[in-house]
Structure 1
Amino acid sequence: MSDKVTRRDFLNGTQIAIGASMVGPWSELLAASGSPFDLSSDYYPPAKTGLRGSHDGAWETMHARVAGRDFKAPRADEKYDLVVVGAGISGLSAAHFYRKEKPDARILVLDNHDDFGGHAKRNEFSINGKTRIGYGGTESIDTPSSYSQVAKDMLVDVGIDTQKFYKLYHQELYASMGLSKGILFDKETYGEQKLVGGYNRIPWQEFAAQTPMSDKARADLIRVWTDERDYLPGLGRDEKIAKLSKMSYYAFLRDLVKVDQQVLEMYRRWGMSFWCVGIDEIPATSVQSYDGGMPGLTHTLPRVGYRGDEPYIFHFPDGNASVARLLVRKLIPDAVPGNTMEDVVTARVDYSRLDRESQGTRIRLNSTVVNVRHTGRNDNVDVTYAHGNEVYTVRAGRCIMACYNSVVPYICPELPTEQKEGLAYNVKVPLVYTKVLVPNWRPFAELGLDFVYYTNDFFKQVELDYPVSIGNYEFGKTPDDPMVLHMCHVQHFPDIKGPEQWRAGRRHLLGTPFSVYEGHVRDQLDQALSGAGFDAERDIHAITVNRWAHGYSYSNDLLWEPEWPDPKQTPWYKARQPHGRITIANSDAGVQATTNSAITQGHRAVMEALQG
C-alpha cells in the first residue's frame, strides 16, 4: 500500500452500480483452483483503504432482497450440522459454543462482508516500512467486570486476560504531556471559528475567557461546572431518578440549570458518537458517566459507582477485531498463526484456509444469505445465499441467525407475524468511523490536544489513537511517530426524532460518496491543526472510511422508549424466540451495542438450538 493517498485509494470508496458490485469484487479473489469459494493467498481485506465497513459489494444483494427480488433456490449441495448466518462476534461465538458442545459437528459460517468480525473491523496501514493498526468498528472490551459469566469465560477460553491491559495501555501518556480535549467553536453559532484547548484541565474561568461565547454564556459555563448546587432540592434520590429519567439532558440544562443557549449548543452533539442522537433525546440520568461525567448533575444526583468503575483501557490496537481473530484461531487454528493474545495482533490471517472441505468449521465470506426455511417435516433447514453471480443452497440440522435482526423477517418469511414485528422494531444506528494515517502527531502535541470536539461540523471529533503496545506491536509514543487518527460522523437531524432519524441517516450514508468524506477530513483537520503547521495535502497519507449504515444495535435507553412492565412483552424478547430449528443471536437480541451482548446472545441461541 502506498504511503500517500492515491486515486486508487479513493476509487475503492466510490459508489458502483449494483450489477457491477455483484460481479467485480470476486473475480480477483479466486485461488488457482477456480472454486467459487476459495480465496487467493494474497487476499487480505484489513489492508484495504477507501470506503470500508459496509463496503460496496456487501449490502446491495440484501437491499435487493428487501426490495422484493426473488432468488431461486437450487437444491442443497452441502450438508452441515449447523449453519450460522453472520460472522460477527456473535456468530463466531455461537460457532465456538456449539463446537464445545458438539466437537465433531460440521459448521458453516456465512457472511456478506469480505472479512469476518462484523463491526469488529481491523484497519491496517503501512508507512515508512511500518504497520499501523486501527479499529474500524467495535473498539473495546468495555468494563469486562460487567460481562455475563458466559462472556467472561469465553474471553478466557480464547486466551484473553483483561488484567494485562493495565500494563499494556499507557494510561498516563497523554496527560503526562499536558494534552487534553479542545473545542472548535463554529462561526455560525459563536460569531467566529476558534479552537480552545484545556477543556476540563485548566481552570474553567481561564477556559471560558478564551472562548468566543457571549459574556452570559461564559458565566453560565463556569457556573454549571463550579457551583456545588442541587438543582432538585427537597427530592430524595429515587424521586430525582424518576424525574430525571423522563427529562432530557438538554431540558435539564435549559430549565433547571438555566444556561445560555450557546452553552446548550456547545453540548448539543456531545454524545453523538455514543447515543447517536442529540442531548434533547438523552435522559439526564444517562449522562452521569459519559466522558467522565457531564456538568450540572454532580450535586443533584451524585454518581454511585459505574459497573465497577473500571478504566476504559481494555483495548487491542484493532479494537475487538482481535477478539474475532482469537475466535477464528480457536475454530480454525491453521488460519491464524500463533497462540497468545499478544501475537494475534501482528499475526497475518491466512484467509485461504477459512473455507476448506477438511475442516470441521468453515467460514465463507462474500456470501449474502437471502432465504432460510424449514424443509420436509421440519427436520432440516435450507439456507440459500448469493456469492458472486451464483446462488447456492446448503442444508443444516440447525441454523443460528446472528445477522442484523431487522433483516431476519425478509430472510425467514415463515416466522410468525408477532416475531417479525419484534425483529423489525430494532432500528440499527448508522455511523461512520474514519481512520486517517498521518506521519506524526506533533501538531496535536504543540497545541496541547489529544481530542478535538467540533460544535457543529460533519465529523463530531478527531482524536489520537488509544496508546496500547502489545506483543511485537509498539504504539508510537512520541509526537514524531506515525499516528492513526480517529474521526466519527453521525448525521444529526434537528427536526427528526426517534428511530426515523436513523433511517434517514442510513439513506444519507449510503448516498454519500467517498470524496465527500475525504473533503470533510481534509477541511476539518486543517481547521483544527493548521495553526501548528499541519497541511492536509501534505500530511494525510491514507484514509479509511468505515461506513456502517446499520451500525450500533438499538438500545432501549432513550426518552421515546415506552415502559415495559412485563419483560416477556418487549419486542426484543419476542424477536429472539426460537422457531423450530432456527434460533436468533446478535447483540440486537439483547438491545445493547456491546460485545458482551453479542457473546451472551450467541450462547443463548446455541443452548436453545441444542434443546430444540
Structure 2
Amino acid sequence: MISRRDFLNGAPMTVGAMLAPSLLSACAETGVTDPFALPSGYYPPAKTGLRGSHDGSWESMHGVVAGDTVQHGAPEETVDLIIIGAGMSGLAAAWYYRDAKHDARILILDNHDDFGGHAKRNEFDVNGTFRIGYGGTEAIDTPSGYDLEAMRLLRGIGVDVDRFYDYFDQDFWDREDLSKSILFDGETFGKTKLVPGYGSRSWEDFAADMPVSEMAKAEFIRLQTSTEDYLPDLTFDEKYALLRKTSYEDFLRNHARAPEEVINIYKRWGMSFWCVGIDEIPATLIQNYDGGMPGVTHTLPRTGSRNDDPYIFHFPDGNASIARLMVRNLIPDAMPGSTMEDVVMAKANYTALDRADQPIRLRLNSTAVKMNNVRDGVVVTYSRHGQRHTVRAGHAVMAGYNAVLPYLCDELPDAQVAALGSLPKVPLVYTKVAVPDWRRFKDIGTDFVYFTDGFYKQVEFAYPVSIGGYEAVSTPDDPLVLHMCHVPWVPDVQGPDQWRVGRSRILSTPFETFEHHVKRQLSQALAGHDFDPERDISAITVNRWPHGYAYSPDLIWEPDYATDADKPWVIGRQAVGRIHVANSDAGAKPDTGVAMAQAYRAVTEILS
C-alpha cells in the first residue's frame, strides 16, 4: 500500500544534483554518502516472528486515512518514473518501462522492509539445515493462462516454466504414501478426532472412522459416490444461471439433500482459497475446482479447471524468486547469479538496492503519503523512518493497494473514489512453522490436515521442489517447513464487510496468539505421536496480510455488470493525469500474471 506525488516544474536534474541542500549538508556532517543507504548486514528474509505487514509498514498510511495532514515539500530528487509498490506489479512496471526506455531513471518505493510485496521469502536454519518458505504468493498458477506480455517478462528474467517438470517431485505423495486428513472438532461433532485418507481410502472406510451418526456416514458416502444430476430438467445454461446465485451450502442442502452433519464438514473448506464460508461461494465455482468438494460435477459438468496445468510451477520461496529475478534484471548488483536456478540460494545484497549512481533505485521502508499532478509531471511525498521526503517524476505508477489512492490524491472523480472504496482486499495469514523432522506425519500417513473449526484452517507440507542446490525433503528425518493458513472467520457478517472486520482482527492480533494456535492445533493433529510443541518446533514466522488477496468478483454477492466499463475495478484503474494504476487489484484477481498484465497496461498508457 504505497503511492507518490510531485511538485516542481523544473528541468531534469543530474544525479549529483538530486539531493536537496538540507540532505547534502546532513551527508557532509555524518560522512554518509547516501542518506537512503541500507546498513551492512541488512537481510529481512532471515527474520522470524511477525512478518508480512510488519510493524513499521502500515502506521504512516493509517495515519493518512485517519486524517493526518500532509504537505509536499521541495523535491529532493527528479526521476522519469516513480513506482509505488515493489511487489509483482511494481517490479514488472519498472521492467516494462526500462525495456522501452533503456536509460530511464526509475525510483521504486515500498512501505515494507523487503521487496516482493506479498511474494515474501522466509528463511530458516533448522539445526544447521537451510530451509526456505513462501510467506505469500506461492506459485505461477496455470502459466498457460498468462498473457503474452507476462510470459515475455518471465522469459526476459530467465524463467522457463517447463523446467519445473524436472524440479517438482510429483511422485512425492504416492512414494511416501501420504494423504489428506480431516481434524473433526469436538464442539461440532462431539469428539475431536483426526481421520486420515480423505480421497485415498475408499469412502466407506473413511466414513466409518468419522465421528458422526450412521445416517450421516451413509449420506456422506452417497454424496461422494453418486453420479446423480440434481437438476435433470434444466439445460446447462439454465443450471449455470441458477447455481451462479446458489451458494454451495444451499446446493448441498436443497439440491444434493445432504444432512447438516455432512454440511458442517465443509463449512470452512474453501477458506484459504476464497476466504469465505461455503454459504457465500457460488456452486458454479465448485464446478471447476479440483479440491475435494463433492456433489456438483454430475449436475454441472466441468468446462475447465485452474488445474488444467499441473500445480508444479513453484520455487521453494514461492514467487519471491520471481521478484528476486526481476530485481536482478533491474539492479544487477543487488542479486548475484545469472539463472532461475541459482537465484534460489543467492543472498540478496540489499545495500545495492538504493544507490545514487544507478538509474533504477528501490527504496524500502518508504510509504507514499501524498501524490499530485503538476505541470508536466507528478510529485510524491513519502514517509521514511519518521521523516517526509518529496520526489518529482515525469509519471507515476500506483502499484500498491489501489483503494488507498483516494487518500493519497485528491484529484480523483467521485465515481472513481466510490469504485475503489467498494473493493476491499482479503485478509489472510500465512504462518510458516519450521520443524526438525516430519516422522510423526509419516507415521499417520498425512501431509495435509483440514481443521473443521480451528483458528488455522489447515496445516500442510512445503512443496517438494529441488532446484539450484536447494534440496526438498527426502526422508522423514529431514527438517521441514509447514504451512498454516488463517483467514478470519466472521460468519455473522456477510459480503465484503466481513473482510473489513477480519482486517482489523488480524492487525490487532499479537504474535503470541498466532503462536498459541500453532502449538495447540499441531498438538491436536499429532496427538498420540509424542509431539511436544516446545521441543519439536524450531521457529515460527507469521506473515500477516490485512490487505492480502486482491478483491475477486466471483462470489455470490457480486452483481452482473452490463459492460466491462461498469466494473468497479475498471473504473478504479483509470489514469488520473500522469498517475497510472497497476497491481492485481486493477484486474480483480490475486494472480501474478494479472499483476504483470496490469503493469504492462499502465506502462503502455504512459508510453502512448
- Pairwise TM-score range, normalised by the shorter structure: over 0.9
- Measure how far apart 1:363 and its partner are: 0.1
Q: Is the 8 A contact 1:41 1:352 kept in 2?
A: yes
- Measure how far apart 1:290 and its partner are: 2.7
Aligned partner of 2:280 in structure 1 is 281
Q: Is the 8 A contact 2:368 2:382 kept in 1?
A: yes
- Measure how far apart 1:288 and its partner are: 2.6
Aligned partner of 1:83 in structure 2 is 82
Query: What are the superposed Cα offsets for residues 549-592 of structure 1, whole Å, 9 maximum, x if unpaired?
Result: 00000010001011001111111111111111110000000000
1:328 partner letter = V
2:476 partner letter = P
Secondary structure (helix, strand or coil) at the match of 1:532 reads coil
Separation of aligned partners in 2, 1:457 and 1:100: 47
Query: What are the superposed Cα offsets for residues 314-336 of structure 1, whole Å, 9 maximum, x if unpaired?
Result: 00000000010000001001100
1:372 partner letter = M
Aligned partner of 1:373 in structure 2 is 372
Aligned partner of 1:14 in structure 2 is none
- Measure how far apart 1:413 and its partner are: 1.3
Aligned partner of 1:57 in structure 2 is 56
- Measure how far apart 1:216 and its partner are: 1.4
Query: What are the superposed Cα offsets for residues 228-282 of structure 1, whole Å, 9 maximum, x if unpaired?
Result: 1111112221111111111110000000111111111110100000100001100
Q: For 1:236-247, what aligned pairs fall within 5 Å after superposition? A: 236-247=235-246
Q: Does residue 239 of structure 2 align to residue 230 of structure 1?
A: no
**Pairing partner for 1:479 from 469, 476, 489:** 476
Aligned partner of 1:395 in structure 2 is 392
Q: Is the 8 A contact 2:79 2:392 kept in 1?
A: yes
Aligned partner of 2:110 in structure 1 is 111
Q: Is the 8 A contact 2:105 2:359 kept in 1?
A: yes
Aligned partner of 2:250 in structure 1 is 251
Q: For 1:518-557, what aligned pairs fall within 5 Å after superposition? A: 518-557=515-554
Aligned partner of 2:38 in structure 1 is 39
Query: What are the superposed Cα offsets for residues 278-297 of structure 1, whole Å, 9 maximum, x if unpaired?
Result: 01100101013334452111
Q: Is the 8 A contact 1:145 1:308 kept in 2?
A: no
Separation of aligned partners in 2, 1:75 and 1:581: 19
Q: For 1:121-270, what aligned pairs fall within 5 Å after superposition? A: 121-270=120-269
**Pairing partner for 1:444 from 441, 446, 455:** 441
Separation of aligned partners in 1, 2:436 and 2:190: 34
Separation of aligned partners in 2, 1:314 and 1:32: 47
What are the ranges of 5 or more consecutive residues in structure 2 without an aligned counterpart? Answer: 1-29
Secondary structure (helix, strand or coil) at the match of 1:280 reads coil
Query: What are the superposed Cα offsets for residues 52-99 of structure 1, whole Å, 9 maximum, x if unpaired?
Result: 000000001100010000123220010000000000000000000000
Q: Is the 8 A contact 1:145 1:307 kept in 2?
A: no
Aligned partner of 1:19 in structure 2 is none
Q: Percent identity?
A: 59
Q: Is the 8 A contact 1:138 1:321 kept in 2?
A: yes
Q: Is the 8 A contact 2:288 2:303 kept in 1?
A: no
Secondary structure (helix, strand or coil) at the match of 1:279 reads coil
- Measure how far apart 1:129 and its partner are: 2.0
1:455 partner letter = T
TM-score (norm 2): 0.94
Separation of aligned partners in 2, 1:404 and 1:174: 37
Q: Is the 8 A contact 1:288 1:294 kept in 2?
A: no
Q: Is the 8 A contact 1:32 1:40 kept in 2?
A: no
- Measure how far apart 1:519 and its partner are: 0.3
Q: Is the 8 A contact 2:34 2:356 kept in 1?
A: no
- Measure how far apart 1:41 and its partner are: 2.1
Q: Is the 8 A contact 1:576 1:585 kept in 2?
A: yes
Q: For 1:448-527, what aligned pairs fall within 5 Å after superposition? A: 448-527=445-524
Q: Is the 8 A contact 1:336 1:350 kept in 2?
A: yes
Secondary structure (helix, strand or coil) at the match of 2:206 reads helix
TM-score (norm 1): 0.93
Secondary structure (helix, strand or coil) at the match of 1:69 reads coil
- Measure how far apart 1:35 and its partner are: 4.2
Query: What are the superposed Cα offsets for residues 441-480 of structure 1, whole Å, 9 maximum, x if unpaired?
Result: 0111100001000000100000011000001101112110
**Over the residues paired in the alignment, what is the CA RMSD in angstroms?**
1.2
Secondary structure (helix, strand or coil) at the match of 1:271 reads coil
Runs ≥4 in structure 1, deviation > 3 angstroms? none
1:60 partner letter = E
Secondary structure (helix, strand or coil) at the match of 2:173 reads helix
Secondary structure (helix, strand or coil) at the match of 1:608 reads helix
1:493 partner letter = V
Query: What are the superposed Cα offsets for residues 415-451 of structure 1, whole Å, 9 maximum, x if unpaired?
Result: 1111111222210000000000000001111000010
Separation of aligned partners in 2, 1:447 and 1:307: 30
Aligned partner of 1:581 in structure 2 is 578
Q: Is the 8 A contact 2:438 2:480 kept in 1?
A: yes
Secondary structure (helix, strand or coil) at the match of 2:82 reads strand
Aligned partner of 1:27 in structure 2 is none
Name whichever of 602-611 and 69-78 sits farther off. 69-78
User: 1:520/1:293 Cα in 2 relative to 1: closer, same or farther (>3 Å)?
Assistant: closer
Aligned partner of 1:11 in structure 2 is none
Aligned partner of 1:353 in structure 2 is 352
